[in-house]
């Protein structure tokens, strides 16, 4: 059998089996072009809400006449509030500024040395104004933050023998520093988790009518940690 006859016979077998020539388009796998998810941009204004837990110490000095008696009381409780800020992104670096105002229900009490009087410090509200510096990994941004802090503390003293009770309030000013991470979860929404150390500083409260003595004063020095979570809407 000649080579031509072999070729003709092979072609007849293929045709009888119903096979047809296959195009390159049939052989090549179909390719689906997937557009990547749009990278998050952090530039712009945002506003949101937050809630968390504050825990700290009030280091207080009792001054009666010429004597000074230091003592401390722990306090803790719920905090929640709102925040407003602006971010500017340059490459992976994100520069921002944020202010927040917080309701607080954090308090603690202690017995004043050598007296029958208890002193209770109750943080009623506080706020911060902070700079932020973050590094964006697309939708995840860890950051550090720090700045100015202020808040209102109510000092209540109670003589457990006479039952006399008086109180005074003072606005404290200090500083804060901490860090956290913010995650873009939807098109305009992000969630954040952060920890701040807040030092509201000292403030005199004059309550001589219950403590007794000339020039009596209580000077609380308020420090606390703040762990909170928040939700932001980016405009």
Least confident window among 2-6, 86-90, 139-143? 2-6
3-state DSSP assignment of residue 105: strand
pLDDT of res. 66: 63
User: Residue 57 in contact with residue 73, Cβ under 8 Å?
Assistant: yes
Give the domain ranges of the chain: 44-234
Residue of 177, 176, 158, 156 lying closest to 167 (CA atoms)? 156
pLDDT of res. 125: 97
The CA distance from 25 to 230, in Å, is 53
Percent of the chain scored above 90 by pLDDT? Answer: 53
Residue of 71, 167, 164, 154 lying closest to 111 (CA atoms)? 71
> What does pLDDT average to over the chain?
82
- 185-207: average pLDDT: 91
pLDDT of res. 23: 43
Residue 223: pLDDT above 80? yes
Least confident window among 110-114, 179-183, 187-191, 222-226? 110-114
User: Residue 203 in contact with residue 154, Cβ under 8 Å?
Assistant: no
Region at 195 (left for phi over 0; alpha for psi -120 to 50; beta for the rest): beta
- 179-191: average pLDDT: 95
- 100-125: average pLDDT: 89
- 132-153: average pLDDT: 97
The model's pLDDT over 5-64, given as tens digits with 9 standing for 90+, comes to 544 454 454 345 444 444 444 444 444 443 333 446 899 999 999 999 999 988 888 776
Polymer length of the chain: 235
What b/e readout covers 154-181, taking b as 16+ CB neighbours within 10 angstroms?
ebbbbbeeeeeeeeeebebebbbebebe
- 193-210: average pLDDT: 84
HSE-up (13 A, CA, CB side) for residue 75:
29
The CA distance from 107 to 105, in Å, is 7
Written as six digits, the tokens of 157 are 């003293």
- Range among 6-10, 34-38, 90-94, 112-116 rated most confident: 90-94
Choose between 221 and 116: higher pLDDT.
221
β-pairing, 67-90 vs 165-184, is: unpaired
Q: How far is CA 97 from the centre of its chain?
A: 13
pLDDT of res. 209: 54
Residue 1: pLDDT above 70? no
Least confident window among 32-46, 62-76, 209-223? 32-46
Kindly indicate the confidence band of residue 157, based on its pLDDT and cuts at 50, 70 and 90: confident
Specify the CATH number for 44-234; select among 1.10.3720.10, 3.40.710.10, 1.10.220.150, 2.40.128.90.
2.40.128.90
């Amino acid at each position: 059998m000649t080579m031509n006859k072999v070729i003709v016979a092979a072609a007849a077998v293929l045709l009888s089996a119903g096979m047809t020539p296959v195009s390159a388009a049939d052989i090549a796998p179909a390719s689906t072009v997937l557009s990547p998810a749009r990278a998050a941009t952090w530039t712009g204004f945002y506003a949101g809400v937050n809630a968390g837990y504050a825990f700290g110490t009030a280091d207080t000095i009792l001054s009666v006449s010429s004597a000074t008696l230091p003592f401390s009381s722990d306090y803790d409780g719920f905090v929640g509030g709102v925040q407003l800020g602006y971010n500017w992104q340059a490459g992976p670096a994100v520069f921002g500024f944020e202010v927040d105002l917080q309701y607080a229900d954090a308090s603690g009490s202690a017995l004043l040395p050598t007296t029958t009087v208890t002193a209770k410090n109750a943080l009623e509200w506080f706020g911060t104004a902070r700079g932020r510096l973050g590094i964006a990994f697309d939708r995840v941004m860890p950051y550090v933050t720090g700045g100015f802090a202020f808040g209102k503390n109510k000092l209540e003293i109670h003589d457990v023998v006479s039952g006399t009770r008086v109180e005074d309030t003072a606005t404290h000013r200090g500083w804060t520093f901490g860090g956290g991470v913010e995650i873009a979860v939807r098109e305009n929404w992000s969630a954040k988790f952060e920890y701040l150390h807040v030092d509201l500083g000292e403030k005199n409260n004059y309550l001589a009518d219950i403590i007794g003595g000339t020039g009596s004063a209580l000077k609380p020095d308020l420090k606390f940690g703040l762990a909170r979570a928040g939700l932001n809407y980016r405009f």
